[in-house]
Amino acid sequence: MRELSPLHNERLKYNPKLAGELSKGIKNLSVNYLEKTSAVKDVEQIQELFPRIFAQPIVQFGSTGEKIELEKKNVGVILSGGQAPGGHNVIAGLYDALKTANPENELFGFLGGPQGIVDGDYIKFTDSYIDKYRNTGGFDIIGSGRTKLETEEQFKATLNTCQNLNISAIVIIGGDDSNTNACMLAQWMAEKGTGIQVIGCPKTIDGDLKNDQIEISFGFDTATKTYAELIGNIMRDANSAKKYWHFIKLMGRSASHVGLEVALQTQPNITLISEEVEQKALSLDAIVNYMTEIIAKRGNDGKNFGVALIPEGLIEFIPEMKTMIASLNDILAVVEDDANYMNAQTQAEKYDIIESKMEMVNASVFHSLPVLIKDQLLMDRDPHGNVQVSKIETEKLLIAMIRERLDELKKEGKFTGKFSDQAHFFGYEGRCAMPSNFDADYCYSLGYNAFALIAAGVTGYLSSIKNLTEPAKNWVAGGVPLTMMMNMEKRHGKFKPVIQKALVELDGPVFKALEARREEWAYEDKYVFPGAIQYFGPSEVCDITTQTLALEQAACAAAK
């Protein structure tokens, strides 16, 4: 038996707070059906692809309305995609609701992600097993995986597994792509008349799975607080040693929510936001010039140190890089049929072949990049056919280019300081952290609520808990149809239905809060040191949520 830390032991005892009506117990819930929904974009295509689950109403639980049925139900649960703090509590909440509704109900956990349900590889949860994982980080309770459930063969295998175990509902805990697959599975199960429901739960530390009904994805709160602690420590070190510039790349492939939230918590000298770069059509040169200007001015003032935050997906938002990478993705999707490419003896030969297939402007951008970055761009694609931006060392590319500019300025007598750099990438450090009180409570409610949706008889829904800046007793539980969030996007060279990612809104309150103070932070060292996540103590310390959620909810309240 593994040895547990004192904190781990104490967290196992924590009793998560349940959302609003859910706290009255699963047997006392009623369901209300609100307005019917459409799709966020490409409505006709989404309706055609998902005719059995399209235009369903938003669901909200309360003490009045239609009573939910508590007939015996076996449920399967899958953890899909990258880890996020709180996943264990989603499963614990689901299990507790299921057993409270009927002690004969069973919960099956499929091992290693979606492939587990295809292969019929599972465990049956028990009280003692669940109790070992309550309020803990990670997905090790059953493991996760990135298999995409999208083929007829996979759907048939999933149905076979469910029939063998008498499972009548599946809960998929995942991000936008995982819940896109949940939507496809729900449509197939409904189309075939199987009676098997599919419910999703919104997970991703990137914070890009949200809308009016999903205020925040779980794990974002804990992950950003974890990164903020680390960056606060680095800021303290930088302010002590006064001789290093720290370039910190932060996880967030498509959206900059993580970087934006961490910037508001710590107040660094430079914060790049990918969505701003794209809107302003900033070139790589423009970004380097902006950063160099701040570094040079600080150096000339005797401040040869600082902290710069860089979003993981930045490189794909730089216009000339985005266009080039899109072209590269299309080329690499079919290049395996090119004998010359597959038989190339050197990387240089591969570069030449790639460039020959590009339009001149894209070929020129690709040609100008350092070999290190070219090699990283040609690595295996992710499951969606896109470049793996986490493996592109954007921070090192920027450091190299900034160093060149500073050398030029020094020769011209315009830079009298010194420049020493440190590169960091914070990603995995936050994915499995012990969940904050907020994420522990939120995730437990999401799981409990997922079973309420199953009991209500709906399918193709995402578990939704709203009003999250209020105390848990005021949270609102319900569900939102997955098709409401869908649109068509290009993947592997073809248009496919996917849940639309929520990017940083540059006219929104969160970015505006950064924009208002960014100039001041650049030069005046307003560093904030958040410290470690607190689990015990006054609510104003232990239960605080992210600035992102607080600012967005305040803006919504003001608009009403």
Residue 289 belongs to a domain? yes
Together in a domain, 294 and 347: yes
Residue 560 belongs to a domain? no
At 459, which CATH number?
Answer: 3.40.50.450
Q: What are phi and psi of 306, to 5 degrees?
A: 170, 175
Residues 6+ apart with CB under 8 A from 500: 40, 41, 176, 485, 486, 487, 489
Residue 419 belongs to a domain? yes
Together in a domain, 281 and 298: yes
Residue 546 belongs to a domain? no
Residue 545 belongs to a domain? no
pLDDT tens-digit profile, the chain (560 residues): 578 999 999 999 999 999 999 999 999 999 999 999 999 999 999 999 999 999 999 999 998 889 988 889 999 999 999 999 999 999 999 999 999 999 999 999 999 999 999 999 999 999 999 999 999 999 999 999 999 999 999 999 999 999 999 999 999 999 999 999 999 999 999 999 999 999 999 999 999 999 989 999 999 999 999 999 999 999 999 999 999 999 999 998 889 999 999 999 999 999 999 999 999 999 999 999 999 999 999 999 999 999 999 999 999 899 998 899 889 988 888 887 788 888 888 999 999 999 999 999 999 999 988 888 888 888 877 766 677 777 889 999 999 899 999 999 999 999 999 999 999 999 999 999 999 999 999 999 999 999 999 999 999 999 999 999 999 999 999 999 999 999 999 876 789 999 999 999 999 999 999 999 999 999 999 999 999 999 999 999 999 999 999 999 999 988 87
Together in a domain, 287 and 194: no
Longest dimension (CA), the chain: 79
The whole domain housing 26 covers 18-219+437-499
Residue 481 belongs to a domain? yes
Separation between Cα atoms, residue 353 and residue 56, nearest integer Å: 49
3-state SS, residue 482: helix
Separation between Cα atoms, residue 540 and residue 538, nearest integer Å: 6
Separation between Cα atoms, residue 560 and residue 558, nearest integer Å: 6
Together in a domain, 454 and 352: no
Together in a domain, 76 and 205: yes
Residue 251 belongs to a domain? yes
Together in a domain, 207 and 248: no
Of 96, 176, 206, 208, the active-site residue reads 206
Our count of domains for the chain comes to: 2
pTM of the full structure: 0.93
Together in a domain, 99 and 248: no
543 in active site: no
At 526, which CATH number?
Answer: 3.40.50.460
> What are the structure tokens assigned to 64, written together?
């009045």
> What are the structure tokens assigned to 324, written together?
């080039």
Together in a domain, 291 and 374: yes
Separation between Cα atoms, residue 246 and residue 525, nearest integer Å: 14
Together in a domain, 519 and 392: yes
Q: Tell me the CA distances in angstroms from 504 to 277, 321, 524, one per residue in order.
A: 11, 20, 26
Domain boundary among 449, 472, 499: 499
Together in a domain, 475 and 414: no
Together in a domain, 43 and 143: yes
Separation between Cα atoms, residue 231 and residue 222, nearest integer Å: 14
Together in a domain, 228 and 334: yes
Residue 552 belongs to a domain? no
Q: Tell me the CA distances in angstroms from 120 to 78, 112, 156, 188, 317, one per residue in order.
A: 12, 11, 12, 19, 41
Separation between Cα atoms, residue 90 and residue 122, nearest integer Å: 17
Beta bridge partners of 305: none
Beta bridge partners of 423: 247
